[in-house]
Structure 1
Amino acid sequence: MSSETPPAESPDTIEIDPADALRRMRAGATLLDVRDDDERASGMPERAIGISRASLEARVAQLAITQSAELLAICATGQRSLLARNQLLELGYSRVFSVRGGFSRWCAEGLPTNAGSMDADSAERYSRHLLLPEVGVSGQLKLASARVALVGAGGLGSPAALYLAAAGVGNLTLIDDDRVERSNLQRQVIHTEARIGMPKTASASLTLAALNPSVRIFTHEQRLVAGNVEALLSGHDLIIDGADNFPTRYLLDAASRNLGIPLIYGAVHRFTGQVSVFDPRKESSPCYRCLFPEPPSAEEAPNCSEAGVLGVLPGIIGLLQCSEAIKLIIGQGRPLVGRLLCFDALNASFRELSLVRDPDCPGCKAGSGLSAYEEIATLCAG
């Protein structure tokens, strides 16, 4: 008798050992790994087919397996595979066996496995994401390969960077020329008392690395100007605007359109904030200058150091920016393109305004000369 031929089983046999399952597979049986997608992300038995038990009935028919063929079911420890066996019997499959001890015993016995699409640490760390059909393994892998530039590591950049790192966005670039001051700590939660005087990019990098060591952090301790804006932003998938001044925002707007990179805008003032997405990949998307064609005067728009800001407000707006970034990366939901979301902290109210592309916008109208960064600097200085 060939070593690949499984021993004859009793008609009442329900479970088989992993080694027996491997022999049967080599003789032609099909092994179904009925664990959930997040569990299988860290690996499966070699040559197994992954179908979660919840979708077993719908998907097993797609495999075009005859009902007389031998099917084996495996889960984590051997409990769900028994339930899967019953499902398959009810569907008319007559030769179905559950693998005793599941994948845990399979691994303990050193039987061959295929590496998963992510390592065990990632499968555990992002398990709550993997349970969401809108994210799942494919969405998590998109997050891992994404490159996001955060301009500003202050009030808006702090919460956005923290939650992007926690979500597993694989590459974060921090651009800021400022240093940590004690007055920052009321709202810039990525920094600490011990780091006062440290460059904000360096301080933020320490916090993010401690939160999620797998994220790659790139830092640029410099201010965005006409001469470096494209070099610093090129190659990214998204830009998050955490700037606190109009010259930088106008430069970001122009660079976003020149480079074809979506810009996630956020701003705060005293007790109110606003968020929108300007996406140059969409022909109908407005740009920042459709909203603010010309910069307001310093009296009309004082910064936080002059007007003050409720400490929690940048956290709320920064997290909304982060939420938009994740949606854009995984391709889910309805982003805030053509919409301005306004938040009033004192009244705990949101209001949404429609934004349309302005055909006379000085920034994005036809023939507007998008590369004239020097003109923007002159405009904002005037």
Structure 2
Amino acid sequence: MNAKPSAADILEIDPRAAHERQQDGALLLDVREHDERASGRASGSIGLPRGEIERRIATVAPSREREILAICASGSRSLIAATTLRALGYARAYSVRGGHARWIREGLPMERGELEADAAERYARHLALPEVGLAGQQRLARARVALVGAGGLGAPIALYLAAAGVGTLTLVDDDVVERSNLQRQVIHADARIGMPKVDSARDALRALNPCVRVDAIRERLRASNVEDILAGHDLVVDGADNFPTRYLLSAASLRLGLPLVYGAVHRFSGQVSVFDPRRADSPCYRCLFPQPPSAAEAPNCSEAGVLGVMPGIVGLLQASEALKLVLEIGEPLVGRLLCHDALAGTFRELRLPRDPACPGCGAAATFAGYDDVARICSA
């Protein structure tokens, strides 16, 4: 009488069983070549050609305890892949019987586009997070984020959004790199002094992640261009250092229905919030500052000074809020103002409700054009 095969002897499973295990957390690994995956792939699968498994699997699946389901065109290469994975210590590696041909015949979900091996390795720590995973990483890749300001706040925001895989990052700034910037604007370098900040930042971001598209717009945000520049993006991040720009951003955010991630620094302190016009309960920037403070009340960095790390701390918080908005996870800082005091080493959260009488978003608010908004700060 033949003995029943043990789990260690079984290398193949049917596509429907593979799909069920995938829903429970198993990794579906498409071992076909890059060009084969161009026409489509099993939903949620990660592409890693069979010949690259030995070199790359440790970054795609760091834990050898994870179940891996290899799939190819017909089931032949995936069987070899499963054997290879077992030899590498992945005891729960299996081949999907019949491959994609059978997967499709059984009506299991397919999708266009893919996560290539480079991306699977680059974003391995994201893919390990259930809150992000493959679907979240693909959402990041489709995202279009406008970042206004490529200086102190813009530097950490741009670096971390690019590193996270945001597909398109639009940088807007008309300034050039100066030596006095380098104390806090860490995206720039001494060798790029005199270069437009957007070009300097683009060079740094391309070196960090060549998969991200960086659109550099060397212009100052004005009444005449604000909507044209911001339209078509998913959200806007405020890395500006002046009130005229922030009031224009606020007005455009409301007009275009774009979430606005706000941040500001002053000497040893900073603050962060999110204004999201898609939410009925969200305040806008003018709920916080109905009218701009005087120059004496809010001097700029060159006048008041700023601790070099402050834009880094606040900018990273802004980047975190931007990623949460793109991924639709967590609770954004809507209706809350997060304040940081570096000298005291404290964070505190202030409630920031929507103001019914706000001149920007209140019931009686009227929009007389961006030129009118710009004049608020010159009055």
TM-score by length of 1: 0.77
Deviation at 1:11, TM superposition (A): 3.4
Please state if 1:138 is matched with 2:135.
Answer: yes
Q: Which amino acid aligns with 2:343?
A: L
Counterpart CA distance in 2 for 1:29 and 1:37 is 15
**What is the match of residue 3 of structure 2?**
11
Deviation at 1:284, TM superposition (A): 1.0
**What is the match of residue 376 of structure 2?**
379
Superimposed CA distance per residue, residues 327-346 of structure 1 (whole angstroms, 9 cap, x where no aligned partner): 11111101000000000011
Superimposed CA distance per residue, residues 268-293 of structure 1 (whole angstroms, 9 cap, x where no aligned partner): 00000000000000011000000000
Deviation at 1:44, TM superposition (A): 7.4
* Map 1:259-338 → 2, pairs under 5 A: 259-338=256-335
Please state if 1:151 is matched with 2:139.
Answer: no
Counterpart CA distance in 1 for 2:304 and 2:145 is 30
Superimposed CA distance per residue, residues 70-128 of structure 1 (whole angstroms, 9 cap, x where no aligned partner): xxx958712799865xxxxxxxxxxxxx75xx79xx99xxxx99998310111111010
The answer on whether the counterparts of 2:65 and 2:90 sit within 8 Å (CA) in structure 1 is no
Counterpart CA distance in 1 for 2:249 and 2:350 is 22
Deviation at 1:365, TM superposition (A): 1.4
* Map 1:149-228 → 2, pairs under 5 A: 149-228=146-225
Counterpart CA distance in 2 for 1:50 and 1:378 is 51
Deviation at 1:12, TM superposition (A): 5.1
The answer on whether the counterparts of 2:149 and 2:239 sit within 8 Å (CA) in structure 1 is yes
Superimposed CA distance per residue, residues 184-210 of structure 1 (whole angstroms, 9 cap, x where no aligned partner): 000000000000000000000000000
The answer on whether the counterparts of 2:359 and 2:366 sit within 8 Å (CA) in structure 1 is no
Q: Which amino acid aligns with 1:215?
A: V
* Map 1:105-124 → 2, pairs under 5 A: 117-124=114-121
**What is the match of residue 65 of structure 1?**
none
Please state if 1:246 is matched with 2:238.
Answer: no
**What is the match of residue 360 of structure 1?**
357
**What is the match of residue 40 of structure 1?**
28
Q: Which amino acid aligns with 2:238?
A: D
Deviation at 1:48, TM superposition (A): 8.2
Change (3 A) 1:144 1:364: same
**What is the match of residue 339 of structure 1?**
336
Change (3 A) 1:55 1:16: closer
Identity of aligned pairs, percent?
Answer: 59
Counterpart CA distance in 1 for 2:299 and 2:180 is 17
Change (3 A) 1:216 1:37: farther
Deviation at 1:368, TM superposition (A): 1.9
Alignment root-mean-square deviation, CA: 3.6
What is the number of residues matched between the two proteins?
331
Deviation at 1:155, TM superposition (A): 0.3
| Max Rg structure | 1
Note the residue ranges of structure 2 that are not aligned, 5 or more in a row: 46-60, 68-80, 105-109
Counterpart CA distance in 2 for 1:290 and 1:50 is 42
Q: Which amino acid aligns with 2:141?
A: A
Change (3 A) 1:152 1:49: closer
Note the residue ranges of structure 1 that are not aligned, 5 or more in a row: 1-8, 57-72, 85-97
Q: Which secondary structure does the structure 1 equivalent of 2:365 belong to?
A: coil
TM-score by length of 2: 0.78
